[in-house]
A and B are shown apart, each in its own frame.
Chain A
Amino acid sequence: MAEPVIRIRDLTVALPRGADRAYAIEGVDLEIARGEILCVVGESGSGKSVLASAIMGALPRGLRRVSGRISFLGDDITALTEAALRRIRGRQIAMIFQEPMAALNPAIRIGAQVEEVFDIHAPEMPPAERRARVLELLGAMHLPDPAAIAERFPHQISGGQCQRIVIAMALAWNPALLIADEPTTALDVTTQAQIIRLIRELRDTHGHGILFVTHDFGVVADIADRVAVMQRGRIVEMGSADQVLNHPEHAYTRQLIASVPSLIPPARPALGSEVALRLEGLSKHFGALRAVDDVSFAVARGGTVAIVGESGSGKSTLAKSIVRLLAPDGGRALVDDVDFAAIGGRALMRRRRLVQMIFQDPFGSLNPNRSVGNMLVRAGVLGGLGRAEAERQAEELVALVGLQKEALARKPEAFSGGQRQRIGIARALAMRPRIVIADECVSALDVSIQKQVLEVLDRLQTRHGLTMLFITHDLRVAAQIADEIAVMQRGRVVEFGPALQVLMQPGDSYTAELVTAAPGRAWQHLARAE
């Protein structure tokens, strides 16, 4: 076998004292050959990003390499000085990050930023040649009209185009090793699919060794040659993509894969004909932008409608218009025959409890200064209960979402993301609402936690006969939770129908595009077929 691009032996990185464990990564062994994509997959806190930065010799503050060798093309780079490392970094080992917008300087034109990469490592290159190289690179990224793009600023191009620019900069010196840390996580699915295709093509044409860090098994299925699964700093399983994805051996890998929601909707009980929420031509405009444009559909009592779409499609604006965090510009939103879009003042205040919301960010949706008990009791009181009743209800609710009674006395900082999200759910339920609108409420969570939260929601829905509007960009989540799916694009609902029908026989070309772009689609169809 040829010399691998990188070979890591027994790499251990210590965390600062007081962390939840002693080592960020522990005894990691791996190697990557030329033209190979190794996916490192794991949940948050598993140490996968630390591994990436350890290879770059740029560990975050407070972290320290305790032992291990990192051989890059045969040379041990852990022994190199900072100056020697700098010559390798960016030129032979390059990195791309999660947030393409944050990786580019907003004040410098794209062309000039890419040129800078040549400037750092080859200041003697004549400007004309440098410019030609830049355009050639941008062309290789399949960017339309590279000359025009080079003249733009980062905010004038899309997120996907930004990520292509970042990849172009990383590949400028044709590095032997490319480290990609969640490079598609911040992108929409259709863009993600294009970037994945681009990375695979680059591997085939240039033979880069690629370390691809991700949390998403769908992405792994689409891109990996080999897979390493990390748990609490250790690689628990490593093997070919087929082996790990289709015949996992380690219990943790199995559990992770089982937590990935399937794209195929399960059979769901039939719903009654009673309508809990009816939208009729609901619209919300911001100046000339029609963020929500003439949206009409009905949600049956006890049913769940998933609203899916990419960023900017108007999903969140629709949610905010219904709960009246925003005032709609037109149309009706009927809750029990009361038009929520038309009322205001006291009439609205009195009815607010009927429609509650669960928010996306588990860290931003709870006031850090209030205890969980305080939040839940206050919500109960606002929902019309007496204080004693509200306290009793708060105790029931924490138990219902699977937390200990002691949780009531604690503040949000004492809880993990998944627990906070369950507190957010409890808070919404404390108002005893008829309708719950969940805005990307599992998107920030790891798959196993996501599964738990979805199960809690499902259980509560059956128990309380809740009607739910579930906003998500993730078709897998939608498939598992929804009776019906509404697909939004540019403020409009382009398709609405039963989940099975929308996902299996999409009637609209945009829906079809979304379904095709869902990562790991082929893998799970295969897995289910077995």
Chain B
Amino acid sequence: MSFLRALRRPGPAVGFAIVVLWLGCAAFAGWLAPHDPLKSQIPLQFPLDRAPDGGHFWLGTDLLGRDILSRMIFGARTVIVWAGLSTVSAYIVGIVSGLLAGFYRGWVDRLLSFVANVVLSFPVLVLYILIIVTLGASGLNIVLAVTFASAPAIFRIVRALAIDIASRDFVSAAITQGESAVRIMLVDILPNATGPLIVDACLRLGYTAITIGALGFLGLGLPPPTPDWGGMVNEGRGMAMVFPHLVVFPCIAISSLMLGLSLLADGLREASRAGSHG
């Protein structure tokens, strides 16, 4: 309901369209991509140049002669899969710890909050670099790094929401009924906290996509030759003055996905606010 209402305004609708577009690219990359993203053809072709198979390199080719459009489309899959997995994983950790701290308070809360504050006190990028350099660059390690760095922020949100909701009478009622703590947290508290969490998840997915881009740019992303937007920018940056298409298009991809998610999150926030009034 509130989701549909959110899409009635132009901003969120555009955001939703962008996100759906990239999701579509990720899902149907094999059909949409005009070329094999890993195949070397003619290096450093400009956009719209002819391809040997009679088609076009719509966005040109890179240093190794791979089609940039195809790499971007497959790159969407990389970003969305790993950003999605990382965000989900961070959410699981953040929600579980946040619920425990917000419901039990006391020493559980003090301990978890302390750990969260310690992690949050590190600069995020330094934290990522430390983890990836130590563990090695792989998709799984990106998930680990993002979870480690993002979960404390999610923990804080969930904890604050849980403390507020746990003070309501229906939670007291469940306690006096002898309901188990796990059920109270999952049935009475969590479902009443979803509104703000969905908005945050949307934004966080965008940040994570940027992070994966940044890690790729620093050479700490997915190992080559996996198509990865950040990695593409990194590979092309040496020649960006002469062949701007090497970096411009992957950059547009990263920013558009982030923009789409932000616009969508804005719309959802408005909608959940309106929903809570009526």
A333–chain B nearest beta-carbon distance, Å:
14
Question: CA–CA, A370 to B186, complex, Å?
Answer: 12
Instruction: For B177, give the chain A residue with the smallest CB separation.
Output: A382
Tell me which residues across on chain A come within 8 A of B177, comparing CB atoms.
Answer: 352-353, 356, 378-379, 382-383, 431
B187 at the interface (CB under 8 A from A): yes
Question: CA–CA, A357 to B173, complex, Å?
Answer: 7
Question: CA–CA, A17 to B233, complex, Å?
Answer: 54
Q: Which of A214-222, A238-246, A359-367 contacts B (4 or more CB under 8 A)?
A: A359-367
Contact code string A371-403 (vs B, CB < 8 Å = 1, else 0): 000000011001100000000000000000000
B172 at the interface (CB under 8 A from A): yes
Tell me which residues across on chain A come within 8 A of B175, comparing CB atoms.
Answer: 325, 352
B9 at the interface (CB under 8 A from A): no
B170 close to A364 (CB less than 8 A):
yes
B225 at the interface (CB under 8 A from A): no
B36 at the interface (CB under 8 A from A): no
Instruction: For B191, give the chain A residue with the smallest CB separation.
Output: A369
A367 close to B178 (CB less than 8 A):
no
Q: Which of A357, A364, A367, A378 has the most CB of B within 10 A?
A: A367
Given A361-B169, A364-B168, A370-B187, does the pair A353, B192 have CB atoms closer than 8 Å? no
A323 at the interface (CB under 8 A from B): yes
B169 close to A368 (CB less than 8 A):
no
Could you tell me how many residues of chain A have their Cβ less than 8 Å away from some Cβ of chain B?
29
A349 close to B169 (CB less than 8 A):
no
SS class, residues of chain B in contact with chain A: helix
A427 at the interface (CB under 8 A from B): yes
A355 at the interface (CB under 8 A from B): yes
Question: CA–CA, A298 to B40, complex, Å?
Answer: 89
B270 at the interface (CB under 8 A from A): no
B169 close to A359 (CB less than 8 A):
yes
Instruction: For B278, give the chain A residue with the smallest CB separation.
Output: A18
A357 close to B187 (CB less than 8 A):
no
Given A361-B169, A364-B170, does the pair A355, B188 have CB atoms closer than 8 Å? no
Question: CA–CA, A431 to B192, complex, Å?
Answer: 24
Give A contacts to B, CB under 8 Å. 320, 323-325, 349-350, 352-353, 355-357, 359-361, 364-370, 378-379, 382-383, 424, 427-428, 431
A-B contact list, 10 entries, CB within 8 Å: A320-B172, A325-B172, A352-B176, A359-B169, A364-B169, A365-B169, A365-B172, A366-B170, A367-B192, A382-B179
Which 10 residue pairs spanning A and B have beta carbons closest together?
A352-B178, A365-B169, A359-B169, A369-B191, A367-B170, A349-B178, A364-B169, A364-B168, A382-B177, A323-B176
